[in-house]
Chains A and B, each alone.
Chain A
Amino acid sequence: MAYFLFRRTLGFVLTLLAVSVVVFAVMNVLPGDPALTILGMDASDDALAALREQLGLNAPLVTRYFSWVWNALQGEFGLSHSFRVPVSELISERLPMTISLAVAGMLVTLVLALGLGITAAAQHGRAGDWGVMFLSQLGIAVPAFWLSILLVMLFAVKLRWLPPGGFAGWDDPVAALRSLILPTVALALVQSAVLARVTRSSALEVMRLDFVRTARASGLSRRRVLWRHVLPNALVPIVTIVGMQFAALVTGTIVIENVFYLPGLGRLIFQSISNRDLPTVQALVMLFAAIVVTANFVVDLLYVVIDPRLKARA
């Protein structure tokens, strides 16, 4: 068991390192001259030289990489060119927003997807099953940002129940929640489509197994068999998919923040792109990629916790 943990953690760390190398390489090797990018074509050679010195661009690449990693581990991401404040400050300001959206989105997704998936499996071959299959096929094809626009047009423009975007701040919790409803719904609807299908097929596979028949023969109600016996066993492959979904969650959060003008990390990335603020972009991309890798790692561990058979093998 300890050996298993060690190997997994090692893999996790290595992947993170590899990701950091890729991010650093793309952001620093490809551009050519970041100083030129920042100051523009008309800048004087002296200004460019000065900036290069200031940014530490004259140091060898490898050194720059290690100092970046070292600083990053301490929460130091350098200075933002456009905002003139430490990047870490920008991040910590906007992190709560992004996390709230992501967590809310994930929770709603799970509830929706698991509920619909299991129900579809229970209704296999009947109207409910076809309905869920159709809706999920649609959900996969509908872009999150279009769905968001449609939701806004219905609930904000036509009905005026909810705000069309923006965020007033956390001081007024009710207003804050109202601003989060549509974004969360849009995020969840699209994500749950894939998860619902996976849940359904996993549940169908499990329902064919012998122990389900045993449970039924013990006089347990169909509902109890479904939720207490089928679902927990169906979760095992679902957990893997949820892990893979984190990449989609990250993408979705970034997109949704931009659709609804929410002041989170997703918006920050795009502002930084427009401002050619490379350090910020670099830090944020690394952060998001790290989140995806970490999520996959946690899922790997969770897997072993859920299934006692794997624990024995570990």
Chain B
Amino acid sequence: MRPLPANFLLGAVLVSLVVGVAALSLIWTPHDPQTMSISTKFAPPSAEHWLGTDQLGRDVVAQLMAAARNSMTVALVAVLLGGSIGVALGLLASALGGWVEDAVMRLADLGFAFPALLFAIMLAAVFGPSLTNAVLAISFINIPIFARVTRASANQIWTRDYVAAARAAGRGRFAISRDHILPNIAAAIIVQATIEFAVAILAEAALSYLGLGAQPPASSWGRMLSEAQTLMYLAPQLAIYPGLCIVVAVLGFGLLGDGLRDITDPRLVRAR
């Protein structure tokens, strides 16, 4: 049994931590994240409030946990949504080839011209800032990424012998895509999805920081940082915790993705 790479293990640990906390927040937090108590604002860490309270007396730990939940949800939806569409487009491009493939790739190039932030800005200007808009914007940029990866991987599978055999046997391209192509590119897609999860978390945090994401009273690491920035002189510690959470989450998924890639990369597998 080959030893699992260090980045995979470390990533898995961090991811379990973050996802675990997020899941836990669904049923339990030390306090209600939204209960304000002005009299106990800026309280230092204590047995009651493990990391203290913020400017409105809200428990910091509870807020961080709720924010974790929001962050995971946004990332999950965005990656699933953008990923499904992207994979479908990529499979289509690869299966049909010709002008369809060219058209899809041109669309992908177009998608790359739009950073998520620009798209979110447009949606926010038009519909007003909201969490939904943030999710849509992040989904949008995932589409070309997954389309590209899927197409590249799928193209390689199409040249394999068993696919040629299936085609000779008269199986349709849709059936082949579903039964042969998809299972074989699953690994590459999962690796990409893990990495995009990390990107999505970062994007959500940036959007929330700018006010384009989760709106109050919903908790978000990004928004917590934006509020903390105005209080830098009074309570610098409030600017540290949410940032650390973001780093841990993004690092975790990033390492996990890298580790998965190392494990599933056929070149590296052969070298072992």
Contacts and interface: CB of A to CB of B under 8 A. Distances in A.
Interface of A: 15, 18-19, 22-23, 26-27, 30-31, 37, 137-138, 140-146, 149-150, 152-153, 157, 164, 244, 247-248, 250-251, 254-255, 258-259, 269-270, 272-273, 276-278, 281-282, 285, 288-289, 292-293, 296
A258 B110 CA distance: 27
A255 B210 contact: yes
A140 B110 contact: no
Nearest to B207: A255
A150 B238 CA distance: 11
Contacts of A144: 206
What are the nearest 6 A-B pairs in CB distance?
A146-B243, A141-B250, A141-B251, A281-B125, A247-B115, A251-B117
B12 interface: no
6 contacts: A26-B122, A149-B229, A152-B229, A270-B210, A282-B125, A292-B115
B48 to A, nearest CB: 26
Contacts of A164: 232
A244 B206 CA distance: 19
A269 B113 contact: no
Given A15-B109, A278-B126, A285-B118, 10 more contacts: A18-B110, A141-B246, A146-B242, A146-B246, A146-B247, A153-B236, A251-B115, A255-B209, A281-B121, A293-B113
A153 B239 CA distance: 9
B181 interface: no
A273 B212 CA distance: 10
Given A145-B209, A251-B115, A270-B210, A23 B254 contact: no
A47 B212 CA distance: 30
A26 B126 CA distance: 8
A137 B255 contact: yes
Given A157-B232, A157-B236, A247-B113, A141 B122 contact: no
Contacts of A258: 210
Contact of B114 (A19, A37, A141, A270): A19
B71 to A, nearest CB: 12
A276 B210 contact: no
B157 interface: no
Interface string B61-80: 00000000000000000000
Contact of B129 (A152, A259, A273, A296): A273
Contacts of A292: 113-115
Contacts of B117: 250-251, 254-255
Interface string B179-208: 000000000000000000010001001100
Contact of A259 (B119, B124, B126, B229): B229
B254 to A, nearest CB: 6
Nearest to B229: A149
B225 interface: yes
B239 A150 contact: yes
B127 interface: yes
Given A26-B123, A150-B239, A289 B250 contact: no
B77 to A, nearest CB: 20
A19 B113 contact: yes
B99 interface: no
A11 B227 CA distance: 44
A270 B118 CA distance: 11
Given A146-B225, A281-B122, A138 B247 contact: yes
B125 A272 contact: yes
B113 A149 contact: no
B112 interface: yes
Contacts of B222: 143, 145
A255 to B, nearest CB: 6
A248 B117 CA distance: 10
B225 A31 contact: no
- Residue from B124, B209, B246 whose CB has the most chain A CB atoms within 10 Å: B209
B106 to A, nearest CB: 8
Nearest to B228: A149
A289 B114 contact: yes
A149 B225 contact: yes
Contacts of B255: 137
Nearest to B141: A247
A129 B211 CA distance: 38
Nearest to B14: A141
B34 to A, nearest CB: 23
Contact of A149 (B198, B205, B210, B232): B232
A157 B115 contact: no
B247 A142 contact: yes
B128 to A, nearest CB: 8
Contact of A143 (B211, B246, B254): B246
The listed residue with most A CB atoms (<10 A of its CB), out of B124, B125, B211, B255, is B125
Interface string B96-114: 0000000000000110111
Contact of B225 (A19, A145, A269, A276): A145
A23 B202 CA distance: 24
Nearest to A293: B113
A281 B121 CA distance: 8
